[in-house]
Amino acid sequence: MKNIAVFASGRGSNFVRIYQSIAEGKIPARIRCLITDNEHAGAIDFARQKKLPVYTESPKNYAAPNLFGEALLQILKKHDTEWIVLAGYLKKIPDNVVGAYANRIVNIHPALLPSFGGSGMYGQRVHQAVYDSGAKISGVTVHLVNTEYDRGPIVMQRSVNIEDCRSPEEIAETVLRVEHIVYSEALRKLLTCDFEVSGNRVVFKPDTQ
């Protein structure tokens, strides 16, 4: 069982689904705490219902990113955190946290990276960009986090047919249903299988899958 910390900025639908998957025995992990930058995040209500420790830390309260990172690292150390799972977290992870948790920070992006990613591309902005592009296929990408937005090694992808979607909102609904499934699958593999990073992809060793 791995100790994980969940980072979320909003309602935390992926956080809820991850919690449920753990409860169902699909992910061998314990959620030790929730860290958020938003004191009004819906994820806080769920965490408190489940009696999970909640920490609100915003980078705007620190003079430099590394100081913000030090505050996060203190919380993570307190809870013996082994992995960090981002569930709709909108702030950049400080470099010193990325260094301390190299290849142990996981994120899910609601499109097929490297398309429709990068700074400022999150949530509905992604689905609007996909819709405006005229693309008929979208999807989700689970990736490890490095020091660049949405550029970390890709763990798992799943495509979604959006040919019949008539708005960015319809795309969002269609993709979200797949997000919840794929994220749990990817987390289970990362926590139970040996892997290596080759180029910009995660390669699982055949004898451990």
- For residue 180, pLDDT over 90 is answered with no
In the numeric block, which tokens belong to residue 179? 């997000």
Residue 181 has pLDDT above 70, yes or no: yes
Percent of the chain with pLDDT over 70: 99
- Whether 78 shows a pLDDT value over 70: the answer reads yes
Which residues does the annotation mark as catalytic?
109
CA pair distance 111, 18, nearest whole angstrom: 19
206 C-beta neighbours (distance < 10 Å), count: 8
Phi, psi of 68 (to 5 degrees): -60, -45
Complete edge-to-edge strand list for the sheet that includes strand 137-144: 54-56, 29-36, 2-7, 83-86, 105-109, 137-144, 154-161, 201-204, 195-198
**Which run of H or E residues covers position 204?**
strand 201-204
Residue 188 confidence class, pLDDT cut points 50, 70, 90: very high
> Could you tell me the pLDDT band of residue 209, with boundaries at 50, 70 and 90?
low
Residue 40 DSSP code? T
- Half-sphere exposure (Cβ direction) of 134: Cα atoms closer than 13 Å: 0
Q: Which residue has the tokens 């798992």?
A: 156
